[in-house]
Amino acid sequence: MWCSQTRILPLVDLVITHGGNNTTTEALHFGKPMILLPLFWDQHDNAQRMAELGYGVRLDPYRFTDSQLHGAIDRLLGDTALRRTLTETGGTIRARDGLLTAADLIERAAAG
Residue 22 sits in a domain whose CATH number is: 3.40.50.2000
Report pLDDT digits (tens) over 93-102: 999 988 888 8
Residue 48 lies inside a defined structural domain of this protein: yes
Pick the residue with more confidence: 3 or 92?
92
Kindly tell me the burial class for residue 58, based on how many C-beta atoms sit within 10 Å of its own C-beta (0-12, 13-18, 19 or more).
Answer: buried
Owning domain of residue 71: 12-111
pTM of full prediction above 0.75: yes
The answer, yes or no, to whether residue 112 has pLDDT greater than 90, is no
Region 54-77: mean pLDDT is 98
Q: State the pLDDT at residue 2.
A: 85
Q: Tell me, yes or no, whether 5 lies in a domain.
A: no
Q: What is the 3-state secondary structure (H, E, C) of 2-52?
A: CCCHHHHHHHCCCEEECCCHHHHHHHHHCCCCEEECCCCCHHHHHHHHHHH
What mean pLDDT comes out for the span 15-22? 98
Q: Mind listing the pLDDT tens digit for each residue in 28-45? A: 999 999 999 999 999 999
Domains: count for the chain? 1
Task: Indicate whether 73 belongs to any domain.
Answer: yes
4: in domain: no
